[in-house]
Amino acid sequence: MFLNCHSYHSLRYGTISIEELVQQGVESGNRVVALTDINTITGIYDFYKLCKENEVKPVVGVEVRVENELFYICLAKNRNSIGEVNKILTAYNCDGIEIPKTNPKLIDTYIIYPLSNLPEELFENEYIGVRPEELNLLIKPELNKLIDKMVVLQPVTFQTKREYNLHKILRAIDNNTLLTKLSVNDYCGENEKFINVSDLITKYSHYPRIVENTKRILNDCEIEFDFSTPKNKKYYTDSKENDFKLLKQLTYKGLKQRYPNDKGIALARAEKELEVIDQLNFCGYFLITWDIIQYSNEMGFMHVGRGSGANSIVSFCLGITDICPLELDLYFERFLNLNRKTPPDFDIDWGWENRDTILEYIFNKYGKDHVAFCGTNVEFKYKSIFREVGKVFGLPKEELDVLANKSINEHDDNSVFRSVYKYGKLLEKFPNQRSMHACGVLISEEPITNFTALEMPPKGFPIVQFDMHVAEDIGFEKFDILSQRGLGTINDTVNLIEEKRGIKVDIRNTAISKDEVRANEFLSKGKTIGCFYIESPAMRGLLRRLKCDNYKVLVAASSIIRPGVAQSGMMKEYIFRHNNPDKFEYFHDVFEKELGETYGIMVYQEDVIKIALHFGGLSAPDGDILRRAMSGKGRSLSALQKVKDHFFESCKEIGHPEQLSREVYRQIESFAGYSFCKAHSASYAVESYQSLYLKVYYPLEFMVSVINNQGGFYRTEVYIHEARMSGAKIMNPCVNKSGYRTTLYDDEVYLGLMHLEKVEIRLGQFIPEERKNHGDFKSLEDFIKRVPVGIETIQILIFIGAFRFTGKQKHELLIEARFLLSESRFNCRYLTLLEASPKNYKLPKVDRHKFEDAFDEIEILGFPISYSPFDILQTKYRGSVMAKDLTSYHKKEVKMLAYLISRKHVPTKRGTMFFGTWIDTEGEYFDTAHFADCLEKYPFQGGGCYLLLGIVEVDFHFPTVTIKKMAKMPFIPDPRYSLDKDMAQRVQTNIKEDISMTFRKPYPQEQEIGLPRHKMI
C-alpha cells in the first residue's frame, strides 16, 4: 500500500537508508514496497536486491519534483518504464528541457498526481493520489466523480519523531536557511511514515475502490533486473567474430614490433590470452581501449597504461601498456581469468592538460546517449556536519568553528550544542550530494538512460546516478581515464627539448629510459627531485638504502614503500635482505620457490595470492577474494576474514606448524588494501625512469616543465632550486621575456607570471599574448597604454622587477605609474597609428640596499630569487658539516645550518614526531628526525633557516640527523622598513614550508618485526 517511499538518496530530504526502508516495510506487515526517491534512481538496484532477499516485492519509480514542487510520482510497470522516466529527467538535468507538469508521455509508467496538481484530463495510466488526511475533500463533486481513478497516497520519509526533526534540518540545510525560517511547504507532513497496513486500509474503508486501485497498480508493476549480463558496449566492430578477428590481427602485428626475435614464447602467451579474452567476451573492451590509445597517439599525447592490465601481453602488443609481462614474469590471470566473477578494468593516465581532450573523443565517438561518468555519493563529513547543522540552528561563525574543530567534551553544555551534536551524529554516512567519479567512464550497449537518469555537474561531462559498486553489480566495467602531472611534465619536457635543441626524444623507447647507466647512478643516490613517484623524502631515502641502480629493484621499491608492506615491517626486512643476501634463510621452501626474486618477502598483491594458493592450499576463487581485498575493492580486511578460517584449516591439513601458519597469515593480513600489483609497480617504475632520464640528460628543460606542471611533492621554490643546481640562471618575471608559464632561453629560466599570486590569471595570460601580437613593450608608459591594469597590479610587477628592462629604479617606476594611471585619457587603452615618444622623467637617484630585492621577492613569491636565504641571515656561520659528508659521521654529533624544505608529521606512542628535509649552504639535501621530547623544547617555528645540533645515524647508506637542539636563525631586518622595527621583521613570516600529515601508526622497529630469518620447522 506504500507506493511513495523516500530513502536518504532523496538528498537532503529522506532520512531512511535502503536497508532500513526494506526492514520497516517488512515490520509494518507490507509485502510490497515502492521506492520513489526524488528525481533519482540511485537506490533502486540495491533496493531490488534487498527486497528479493527479504521476500518483499520491489516496486521502483521516481517522485518528480521541480524546484520542490511535486508534479507526480512515477511507478515502473516494467523494465522499459525506467528508461522512459530517466529520459525526461536527463533532458531536464542536461539540456534544460522542461519537465511537463501533467500528462508526460510515459507509456509503460503509472503516473500518480497529488491533489495539488490535477490535470484537465487523465490518461489510462494516470491516477490521483489521496492522502488519509485529504479524504474529507472527496465530498466535493469535482473530486467525487474521480474516485475510480484514485489510489492511496501514504508517503514515507521518516520513521520516528527524531527523524522527522532531522528531515526538517535537512530541508533547512538544502534551503540554506534557519530552521525557524522554514515554511510549511518546505518540509513534509508529520505523518509521512510507515503505519500498520491494516490500519491504513481502515482509513479508506469508505472508499474500497481506492484501495483496490492501489493494490491493482502495485500488483501490475513487475520489474526484473538482470545483474549477470555485461552491459558495456558489446562489439567494437559489428559482431563478436569480427571483434576477435581484429583483436587477433592487431595483437600479431604488435608482436612483431615488440618481439622481433621471439622464438615462440611471446606468441604462445598471446594465443593463450586471446583464447581467454574471447571466451569471456572482452574483445570489444580491449578494442575500445585500443581505439582510445590510437587517438591519443595521433594527438601526440603521452599515456601510461597501469594497474593489472599491464599483466597482459595482448595489452602490451596493442600499445595500451608499455610493460613487458615476460620480462617481469607477470601472470595474465591476475588481470583476467575464468574464475573471475567481476570484470577487469584498465587504468590509463594522461597528462592533466590532455585528459579532457581524450574524454571529448570518447563521448563524441561512442555517442552521448551511451557514455557517462560513474557517479559517487559525497557523504556528510564530520566537520561539515556540525557546521551545516549549527548554521541552521543560528549559531555564529565563532561557535561553528568550535563545533567543527573541538570534540564534544570541549563544547559548552547547553541545549543548542546538545541538539546540534545529536542530529549531527545522525547525519554521519548520509549522502549529501552526488558528484563525478574521479576517472570511471561507462560505455553502454543500450542507451545509458535505460539504466539511469544522467546529471550534469559543473565539470561538463554527464554522470550516472549510482556509484562504481552499483555499476559493477549491474554489469558495467568502467574505463578508468585518469590524469596526473607527472605525464604532463614528461610530455612538456620532450616538446621543449625539440623546440629549444631540435632534438626529438623517443621517451617511450625503453632502451633509453630504463636501466640507463647515468640514470641508474642518479637513482642510487636518490637524486630524483621532480621525478614522478620517486621524489618524496621517504622514497629518496629508500632508494639510497637499497642503492637502487636498476629497473627491477625500482619496481620492487615502488611497492614496498606502500603502507601495507611498510607497516607490516616487510619494507625494513626487504632492505636488510637486499643488502645482506647471505645473512638469512628462507623460512619455508614455498617462499624460496615463489618469492625468490624478493628474498622471500611478500611485496606485491601477486605474492600474497601465490602464498595463499601454494602455501595455504586455498582455491582459485578464494584467491580472487584475496586479490580484491589486496586492491581495496573488496572492503579489505572484512573480505580477508571470510577466507581466514579456511586458510588455517587447509594449513593444518597440509601439515604446516601452527606458529608458521600464523606468521604467514599475519603477513597476508597486513597487505589488505595497501599493496600494488606487480604490473602497477612496473608501470610506475617506467614513468619514474622516463622522468629520471630527462632529468639526467636535459635538466633545465625538465625542471622548467616540472615548474609549469605545478610540481609534485614539493613547492615551486624547491624545483627552482633544483634548476639552479642544474646550472640555470633564475630570472624574475619580466613583461618582455616571461610567458604566463615559466620559459627557458638557453640557460636563463624566466619565471612565469603565473607565480605572481595577486596578478589575475586573465591578466597574466593577456600580457604575453599582447606582446606576441604587437611587439615588446617599449616602456612602462607603453605597457599601461596597451594593458588594462590597475595600480595594485602595476606595483606588484614593479616590485618583482618586471620592468627592469627600462633601466629605471623601482621608486621611479612607482611614481611614473601613479602619474600615468591618474590621467583620465588612459582609461581607454588602445594602440594608435602614430605613437608619440614616451616622456622622460628625471628623478633623484636613491641608494637601495643590496638585499631589498630579495625581501621584495619574499613578500611576493614567498622565497628569494636574487639571493639565497643564507645570504640574508644575520649570522655568518655556515655549519661545521655539509650534507655530502654525513655518511662519514655515523653516531657522531654534528652542527649544521640549513634551510627547511619540508616536514612530515608522524604520531608515535610518545607523542608527535617529525621528519624534516633540508638543504645546506651548498644546496645539498639531507634529512632529520625530531622526537616528541625534543620538539617540546625546540619546536619548528615556520619556514626559514635553522641551526641544528644532532647525532648522525647511517641506516644502510642513508644518513639521518636525530636532532637534539635547534633554533631558527633570524634574517637581517628588512631594509625597506628601516624606521619600523615591527615591519622589518614581519616579511620573514612569508617564508614557506611544506607540511605533510600522516595518522598511520609508526613503522615497526627491527626488533618488533619478528620476521623469521631461519627455516621454521
Q: Span 593-614, mean pLDDT?
A: 88
185, 161 Cβ separation under 8 angstroms? no
Q: Averaged over 390-409, what is the pLDDT?
A: 78
Q: Are 358 and 346 in contact (CB under 8 A)?
A: no
Instruction: Name the average pLDDT for the chain.
Output: 90
* φ, ψ for residue 749, nearest 5 deg: -105, 110
Q: Are 150 and 211 in contact (CB under 8 A)?
A: no
User: In this predicted structure, what is the pLDDT of residue 843?
Assistant: 63
**What Rg do the C-alpha atoms of the chain give, in angstroms?**
34
Contact 679, 559 (CB under 8 A): no
Over range 611-626, report the average pLDDT.
Answer: 81
The confidence score (pLDDT) of residue 628 equals: 67
Mean pLDDT of 962-983: 92
Determine the pLDDT at residue 826: 45
* Model confidence pLDDT, tens digit, residues 239-257: 999 999 999 999 999 999 9
Query: What pLDDT, in 10s, does the model give residues 633-654?
Result: 554 456 567 778 888 999 999 9
Q: What share of the chain in percent tops pLDDT 90?
A: 69
Q: What is the mean pLDDT of residues 451-472?
A: 92
Q: When comparing pLDDT for 814 and 911, which is higher? A: 814
Q: Is the pLDDT of residue 391 over 50?
A: yes
Size of the chain, expressed as the number of residues it contains: 1017
**pLDDT tens profile 802-828:** 999 999 999 999 999 999 988 644 444
Calculate mean pLDDT across residues 524-544.
Answer: 95
pLDDT of residue 341: 59
What is the pLDDT at residue 487? 93
Higher pLDDT, 93 or 633: 93
Beta strands 371-379; 729-731: pairing state: unpaired
The label of the residue with cell 490535470 reads: 119
Whether the per-residue pLDDT at 187 is higher than 80: the answer is yes
**Is there a contact between 663 and 1012 (Cβ–Cβ < 8 Å)?**
yes
CA distances from 73 to 70, 155, 204 (A): 8, 11, 20
* Among 285, 210, 283, 208, residue whose Cα is nearest residue 246: 283
pLDDT given for residue 828 in this prediction: 47
Measure the CA–CA gap between 987 and 855, rounded to whole angstroms.
Answer: 7
Give residue 637's pLDDT: 57
Alpha-carbon gap, residue 890 to 776, rounded angstroms: 57
Please tell me the least confidently modeled range out of 2-16, 281-295, 336-350, 774-788: 336-350
Percent of the chain with pLDDT strictly greater than 70: 92
The helix/strand/coil state of 437 is strand
Residue with more model confidence, 628 or 925: 925
Residue 579 has pLDDT above 50, yes or no: yes
* pTM across the whole model: 0.85
Q: Which one is predicted more confidently, 329 or 181?
A: 181
Q: Report the alpha-carbon distance of residue 692 to residue 262 in Å, rounded.
A: 30
Lowest mean pLDDT among 399-403, 434-438, 869-873: 399-403
Give the pLDDT confidence of 749-792 residue by residue, as tens digits. Answer: 999 999 999 999 999 999 999 999 999 999 999 999 999 999 99
pLDDT bracket for residue 624 (50, 70, 90): low
> What's at 535, amino acid-wise?
E
Q: How much is the average pLDDT of 702-730?
A: 95
Is the Cα dihedral 441, 445, 449, 450 positive or negative?
A: negative
pLDDT computed for residue 1000 by the predictor: 62
Mean pLDDT within 985-1011: 72
- Quote the pLDDT of residue 691: 95
Closest CA to 269 of 253, 281, 251, 246: 251
- Tens digits of residue pLDDT in 681-712: 988 999 999 999 999 999 999 999 999 998 78
Q: pLDDT digits over 123-159, tens only? A: 999 999 999 999 999 999 999 999 999 999 999 999 9
Average pLDDT over residues 573-590: 92
For the ranges 565-574, 623-632, 841-850, 910-919, the lowest mean pLDDT is seen at 623-632
What pLDDT does residue 636 have?
Answer: 46
Q: What is the pLDDT of residue 630?
A: 60
Q: What is the pLDDT of residue 805?
A: 96
Average pLDDT over residues 325-349: 79
Q: Is the pLDDT of residue 450 over 50?
A: yes
Q: Per DSSP, what are the bridge partners of residue 912?
A: 907
From residue 236, give the alpha-carbon distance in Å to each of 286, 291, 315, 347, 445.
9, 9, 16, 19, 10
Give the Cα separation of 671 and 563 in Å (integer): 8
